[in-house]
């Protein structure tokens, strides 16, 4: 992946920096394992990039690198300005050249060892991408406090919505707590700034329910140790009905004193083994999982009960808001799944303890290729929130099709909710800068498995890499992240990196073109979610409909004639979506039911847009293939061939989508394609 080594060192490109790389002056730091990790990563990184192993010493002169926390050595402290330590906070860092006559050095420093570790990875990234000069002066502080990944891994080794092999954490109900793969993963995550990980599926099945018991805690602790050395805290998903399922109690009622006591004891056990345990992630009353509703209690009752148990140890509850009726009657047009999260949670604002964090998916439905931003984000002033993205490509090509998701996430982060007037973007809300949240940040469902290349499709690695980079600094552009990843991963060939970045940048729009049009979503094969099946969910209980008939298509979510969902947004946004004239084309069918002859802002009719985009999508996949073929010889043969294979499969997929969608809508609407292309 992007920490990969073995490219030919380019000494010339390193220029004067090269002189600094031969000696590393360490500080005699007791501290935690993170300092050792930082030194080790720096030494190994430099060796792999330059081909020469640097020497570590406790003092020296001439040109060198030095690394440590502020306060640990006078060489470091002399390079830090007054007040800088405070500005760096717990995770920020500086990389700075200092010139003091006999001593000319580059200092890598953080206020904490964690900051220092991030400095090391940043330094190596700059070195490897040719972004380091001998006048370096970089200060970085992450935008978000919680920067997490979630794993939907099960203890039998399967991964729910995993497209890259089996779990790296479990096999046959055993934790792989001594696996080198887990440590490698910790390195990958830390190198892009991730600081929290939930290692089991939010759907907590029988064996996983016991992860918080002494049967499994020793192994959980070993995995936590691995991540701790990389500055990453461990979290577990828990089963709300655990007191019953583990055979201890007959109820899981959050207001029952025995239940409360039970969870307090469990929390105490967990902290015995993992003293810096992050907390519990909970999917309750969602898709048939147990929760407080069984006992006539609400989600504040449920979350607070767990929060009380974790509070003495500084743990948090990540309580998911993916709560909706999954037994809906398709005949009932008044119930709207998109409304559900807001309707359930907004009235509870002010009732949650301050170590509860509501975890909200980026859109109101479920990680579709296109959705509006969830109106719940920012809507609760007094309740901590964390935004949830999906790195694993459940609905976006399943790591068979290329779909670089950073541009999608950036659109979400840049969305202005206007909750507190202009500038109330998701980006600022998730940073706790719009409402003063005690805990906030961003999380996402990971896309890795035990495949040798981690992500099934090589190019899907860019999503994991980019996710970390983006939530460290959401101002980075998608292009820059793509180029950085390509250079780190495929070696220092700028032209090749540009081509790969172009392919990535084009991929989400292409995927959107040949799949579901204008924000309508859900035209996928039920359960699998790969490949077209237009009516697959149309008469189902899941609340996922497009309502296409012979006249038109789309879901009327307006306040005036529809489900009223549009009213969940602040006035300016609500009006924007409510009004057919102002609703953006790409979300038109999410908010409105319109005739096929309705004219979009582009000037095209809806039906012609459907035909055109589906033909274009396939043509553009063909163009991507020819661009990729142009890379032959510029990147290593194995990965070149692997991606060729995936792209051929993507082309078949795109053709299938094109023909199924076009044919379906031609037959429904009886309106021919203006350009007379083949539709079946
Ligand atoms: C989707 C996904 C499920 C997952 C769920 C969730 O519905 O298909 O596999 O469990 O989201 O986020 O909880």
Atom of ligand 1 nearest to the CA of 529: 8
Residue of the CA atom closest to atom 1 of ligand 1: 366
Q: What is the pLDDT of residue 262?
A: 98
325-380: pLDDT as tens digits: 999 999 999 999 999 999 999 999 999 999 999 999 999 999 999 999 999 999 99
d(C-alpha 468, C-alpha 443), whole Å: 10
Give the position of tokens 């306040």: 559
Closest CA to 347 of 279, 402, 298: 298
ipTM: 0.99
Ligand 1 neighbours, Cβ below 6 Å, are 160-161, 202-203, 283, 287, 322, 366, 394
What pLDDT is recorded for position 29?
67
Mutating to test ligand 1, I would choose from 161, 387, 447 the residue with most ligand atoms within 8 A of its C-beta, which is 161
- pLDDT value at 301 more than 80: yes
Burial grade of 332 (CB within 10 A; 0-12, 13-18, 19 or more): exposed
Helix (H, G, I), strand (E, B) or coil at 49: helix
pLDDT at residue 420 is higher than 80: yes
- Residue 31's pLDDT is 66
Residue nearest to atom 11 of ligand 1 (CA): 366
Going by alpha carbons, the residue nearest to atom 10 of ligand 1 is 203
Crossing angle for the helix pair 494-514 and 406-414, nearest 10 degrees? 70
What is the percent of the chain where pLDDT is above 70?
99
**Average model confidence (pLDDT) across the chain:** 96
CA of 284 to the centre of ligand 1 (A): 12
* Catalytically annotated residue among 219, 285, 366, 416: 366
Cβ-based neighbours of 617, under 8 Å, separated by 6 or more: 510, 511, 512, 513, 514, 515, 654, 657, 658
Residue 359 CA, ligand 1 centroid: distance in Å: 14
% of the chain beyond a pLDDT of 90: 93
Residue 658 Cα to ligand 1 midpoint, Å, equals 26
State the pLDDT at residue 511.
Answer: 98
Exposed, middle or buried, 36 (CB in 10 Å: 0-12/13-18/19+)? middle
Q: How far is residue 29's CA from residue 22's CA, in Å, rounded to a whole number? A: 21
Look at ligand 1, atom 7, and give the residue with the nearest C-alpha. Answer: 366
CA 202 – CA 282 distance, rounded (Å)? 7
The catalytically annotated residue of 388, 394, 401, 578 is 394
Phi/psi-derived region of residue 83, left when phi > 0, alpha when psi is between -120 and 50, beta in every other case: left
Nearest to 32 by CA among 113, 133, 90, 117: 113
Average pLDDT over residues 137-151: 98
Atom of ligand 1 nearest to the CA of 152: 10
Closest-lying ligand 1 atom to the alpha carbon of residue 390: 12
Structure tokens belonging to residue 398: 């399943």
Q: What is the mean pLDDT of residues 158-183?
A: 97
**SS3 for 520?**
coil
66-115 confidence digits (pLDDT tens): 999 999 988 899 999 989 999 999 999 999 999 998 999 999 999 999 99
Q: Is 140 a catalytic residue?
A: no
How many CA atoms lie within 13 Å of 61's alpha carbon, on the beta-carbon side? 3
286 CA from centroid of ligand 1 (Å): 9
Q: CA 140, CA 112: separation in Å to the nearest integer?
A: 13
Ligand 1 atom, smallest distance to 286 CA:
13
305 and 264 Cβ atoms separated by less than 8 Å: no
| pLDDT at residue 426, as a whole number | 98
pLDDT at 14: 77
Q: Report how far residue 340's alpha carbon sits from residue 346's, in angstroms, rounded to the nearest whole number.
A: 10
Average pLDDT over every residue of 424-443: 98
Note if 287 is an active site residue: yes
Q: Minimum mean pLDDT among 16-30, 126-140, 506-520: which range?
A: 16-30
- Mean pLDDT within 497-523: 98
Q: Which pLDDT score is estimated for 30?
A: 62
SS3 442: strand
Number of Cβ within a 10 Å radius of residue 215? 11
Task: Give the side-chain half-sphere CA count within 13 A for 184.
Answer: 15
* Separation between Cα atoms, residue 388 and residue 321, nearest integer Å: 10
User: How many other β-carbons are positioned within 10 Å of the β-carbon of residue 571?
Assistant: 9
| 328 within 8 A of 541, measured Cβ to Cβ | yes
Distance 314 CA to ligand 1 centre (A): 28
> Closest ligand 1 atom, CA of 361?
12
16: confidence class by pLDDT, cuts 50, 70, 90: confident
Whether 81 is catalytic is: no
Rounded-to-integer distance, Cα 394 and Cα 153, Å: 14
- pLDDT surpasses 90 at 10: no
Interacting residues of 346 by C-beta distance below 8 A, sequence separation 6+: 376, 379, 380
Angle 461-472/180-191 helices, nearest 10 degrees?
Answer: 50
Q: Nearest-5° angle of CA 23, CA 27, CA 30?
A: 140
Tokens of 673: 């394609």
Distance 671 CA to ligand 1 centre (A): 37
Q: Summarize pLDDT for 22-73 with one digit per residue, the tens.
A: 999 998 766 679 999 999 999 999 999 999 999 999 888 899 999 999 999 8
Quick one: pLDDT at residue 7? 74
Under DSSP, is residue 136 helix (H, G, I), strand (E, B) or coil?
coil
pLDDT given for residue 4 in this prediction: 81
């Amino acid at each position: 992946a992007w920490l990969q080594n073995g490219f030919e060192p380019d000494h010339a490109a390193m220029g004067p920096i090269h002189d600094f790389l031969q000696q590393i002056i360490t500080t005699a730091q007791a501290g935690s394992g993170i300092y050792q990790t930082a030194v080790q990563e720096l030494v190994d990184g430099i060796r792999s990039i330059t081909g020469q192993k640097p020497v570590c010493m406790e003092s020296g002169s001439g040109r060198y690198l030095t690394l440590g926390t502020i306060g640990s050595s006078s060489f470091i402290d002399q390079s830090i300005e007054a007040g800088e330590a405070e500005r760096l906070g717990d995770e920020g860092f500086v990389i700075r050249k200092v010139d003091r006559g006999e001593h000319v050095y580059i200092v890598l420093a953080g206020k904490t060892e964690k900051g220092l570790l991030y400095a090391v990875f940043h330094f190596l990234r700059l070195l490897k991408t040719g972004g380091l000069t001998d006048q370096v002066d970089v200060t970085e502080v992450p935008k978000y406090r919680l920067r997490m990944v979630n794993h939907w891994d099960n203890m039998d080794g399967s991964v729910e919505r995993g497209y890259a092999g089996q779990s790296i954490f479990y096999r046959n109900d055993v934790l792989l707590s001594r696996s080198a793969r887990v440590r490698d993963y910790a390195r990958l995550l830390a190198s892009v700034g991730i600081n929290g990980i939930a290692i089991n599926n939010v759907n907590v099945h029988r064996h996983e329910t016991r992860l918080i018991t002494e049967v499994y805690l020793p192994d959980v602790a070993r995995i936590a140790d691995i991540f701790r050395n990389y500055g990453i805290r461990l979290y577990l998903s828990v089963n709300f009905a655990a007191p019953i399922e583990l055979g201890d109690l007959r109820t899981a009622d959050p207001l029952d004193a025995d239940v409360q006591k039970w969870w307090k004891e469990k929390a105490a056990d967990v902290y015995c083994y993992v003293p810096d345990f992050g907390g519990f992630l909970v999917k309750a009353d969602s898709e048939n999982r147990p929760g407080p509703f069984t006992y006539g209690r609400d989600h504040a009752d449920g979350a607070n009960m767990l929060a009380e148990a974790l509070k003495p140890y500084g743990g948090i509850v990540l309580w998911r808001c993916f709560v909706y009726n999954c037994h809906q009657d398709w005949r009932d047009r008044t119930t709207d799944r998109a409304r559900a999260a807001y309707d359930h949670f907004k009235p509870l604002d002010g009732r949650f303890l301050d170590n509860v964090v509501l975890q909200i998916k980026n859109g109101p439905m479920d990680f579709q290729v296109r959705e509006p931003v969830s109106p719940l984000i920012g809507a609760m002033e007094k309740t901590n929130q964390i935004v949830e993205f999906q790195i694993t490509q459940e609905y976006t090509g399943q790591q068979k099709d290329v779909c670089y998701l950073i541009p999608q996430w950036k659109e979400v982060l840049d969305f202005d909710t206007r909750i507190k007037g202009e500038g109330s973007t998701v980006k600022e809300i998730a940073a706790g800068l719009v409402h003063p949240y005690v805990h906030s940040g961003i999380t996402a469902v990971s896309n890795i498995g035990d495949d040798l290349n981690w992500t099934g499709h090589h190019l899907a690695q860019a999503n994991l890499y980019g996710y970390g980079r983006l939530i460290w600094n959401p101002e980075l552009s998608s292009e820059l992240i793509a180029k950085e990843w390509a250079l780190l991963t495929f070696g220092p060939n700028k032209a090749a990196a540009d081509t790969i970045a172009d392919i990535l940048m084009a991929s989400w729009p292409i995927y959107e073109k040949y799949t579901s049009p204008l924000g309508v979503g859900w035209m996928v094969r039920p359960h699998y979610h790969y490949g077209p099946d237009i009516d697959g969910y149309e008469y189902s209980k899941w609340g996922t409909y497009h309502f296409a008939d012979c006249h038109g298509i789309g879901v009327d979510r307006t306040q005036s004639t529809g489900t009223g969902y549009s009213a969940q947004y602040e006035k300016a946004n609500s009006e924007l979506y409510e009004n057919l004239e102002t609703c953006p084309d790409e979300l038109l069918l999410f908010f409105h039911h319109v005739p096929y002859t309705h004219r979009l802002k582009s000037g095209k009719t809806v039906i012609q847009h459907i035909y055109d985009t589906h033909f274009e999508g396939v043509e553009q996949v063909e163009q991507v293939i020819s661009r990729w073929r142009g890379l032959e010889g510029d990147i290593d043969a194995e990965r070149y061939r692997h991606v060729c294979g995936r792209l051929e499969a993507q082309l078949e997929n795109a053709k299938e989508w094109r023909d199924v969608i076009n044919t379906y809508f031609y037959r429904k609407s009886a309106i021919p394609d203006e350009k007379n292309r083949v539709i079946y």
